Structure 1
Amino acid sequence: MSAYPPGSASTDPAMTLEAGQTAKILRPTARFMLSHPAHFIALGFGSGLSPVMPGTVGTLYGWLSFVVISLWMQPSAWLWIIVGGFLIGLWACARTARAMGVHDHGSMVWDEIVAFWLVLAFVMPTGFWGQFAAFLWFRLFDMAKPAPIAYYDRTLKGPGLRGGFGVMFDDLVAAFYTLLVFALWRSF
């Protein structure tokens, strides 16, 4: 039984399915994002809807939100925000992945946002160019997926909270590599 009248074709990927059916959403819409709080979070408050390089746009959103929120927060509060963001991300990414029918859809950018918050929390205080370098290194590691990032990206994906952990964890490893580069750079 379809949610649409016979003979009509729907272009909306968020359609009603019968029990046991699955759908793969290739490109989420604003309507899909707003249909559930988990989707709104996982899609980075809309930054993941970018048709071009949503992971990069999500990371830019993470950078902007860090700078703005830091105007009102003590630096030590960021560790609590990051831990809370990670835990919320487990749920939001798992729920959104299930709804989209894809374990780690490119539009789910909450993992980039939280991981980049972690990078900025540790490299601050630094000026624009230091933050920009952190952005470039993080995007390089996130896209290139050097070992063991590619391994975790492949093996930890799946349904449920384990899959949500897989979505979030590989970006934390990219954040660790970025912080390692900064630690080496600052040691010289």
Structure 2
Amino acid sequence: MASLSDRVASLGGVGHLRPAPGTWGSAVVLPFAWAGPWACLAVSVLCLVLGFWALRDRTDDPGWVVVDEGAGQALALAAVPAVAGLGFLAWVLGAFALFRLFDIAKPGPIGWIDRQPGALGVMGDDMLAGAFAAIVLICARIFL
């Protein structure tokens, strides 16, 4: 049986889904978008705090650890505007795509923090990827 910290780190086992556990870890928080930006922000902070706790003794970042994807994706979703109908779904899917793009490509500071040891590196790159995605979404909201 997995330890509590391993269950938290895998978001209740979602990190063991294949293929692409990081994508599954990001997808599992998507329903929170319908609860609004404050709920998404709360989920992000909760995943961040629990993630640091669950990863406190780890020095590696195995693929099944996806609490970081949950935290970063929820942060990106906090920037989704409240619009009606299919427009809302388009924003949610945009947030998902942007977060995954930044999380996988790891441009600039995202790559740098990813190389830091321990929980800081594991959690930090996804939080920055979520912040980058949120910034792009906010800019799109301003200009569209």
TM range (shorter): 0.7 to 0.9
**Consecutive aligned runs of 4 or more in structure 1 exceeding 3 Å deviation:** 74-81
Structure 1 pair 78/138, CA: closer, same or farther in 2 (3 Å)?
closer
**2:64 alignment partner, SS class:** coil
**Which protein shows a greater Rg?**
1
CA RMSD across the alignment: 2.0
The unaligned stretches of length 5 or more in structure 1 are 1-33, 158-162
Instruction: Give 1:76 deviation, angstroms.
Output: 3.4
**1:45 alignment partner, SS class:** coil
Residue 113 of structure 2 contacts residue 120 of structure 2 at CA under 8 Å; is this kept in 1? Answer: no
Amino acid at match of 2:55: C
Amino acid at match of 2:96: F
Partner of 2:74: 117
Counterpart selection for 1:91 from 53, 78, 87? 53
Provide, for residues 94-128 of structure 1, a one-character-per-residue CA deviation record: whole Å limited to 9, x for no partner: 34x3xxxx611111000000111111122242411
Structure 1 pair 40/147, CA: closer, same or farther in 2 (3 Å)?
same
Counterpart selection for 1:165 from 114, 120, 132? 120
1:50 is the counterpart of 2:5: no
* CA–CA distance in structure 2, aligned partners of residues 133 and 91 of structure 1: 30
Give me the TM-score of the superposition, normalised by structure 2: 0.85
The structure where helix makes up a greater share of residues is 2
Alignment of 1:15-34 (within 5 A): 34=1
Residues matched between the structures, number: 139
1:60 is the counterpart of 2:22: no
1:186 is the counterpart of 2:141: yes
* CA–CA distance in structure 1, aligned partners of residues 71 and 96 of structure 2: 13
* CA–CA distance in structure 1, aligned partners of residues 103 and 44 of structure 2: 18
* CA–CA distance in structure 2, aligned partners of residues 67 and 166 of structure 1: 26
* CA–CA distance in structure 2, aligned partners of residues 172 and 179 of structure 1: 10
Residue 77 of structure 2 contacts residue 95 of structure 2 at CA under 8 Å; is this kept in 1? Answer: yes
* CA–CA distance in structure 1, aligned partners of residues 26 and 119 of structure 2: 18
Counterpart selection for 1:108 from 24, 42, 65? 65
Structure 1 pair 150/76, CA: closer, same or farther in 2 (3 Å)?
closer
Partner of 1:149: 110
Give me the TM-score of the superposition, normalised by structure 1: 0.67
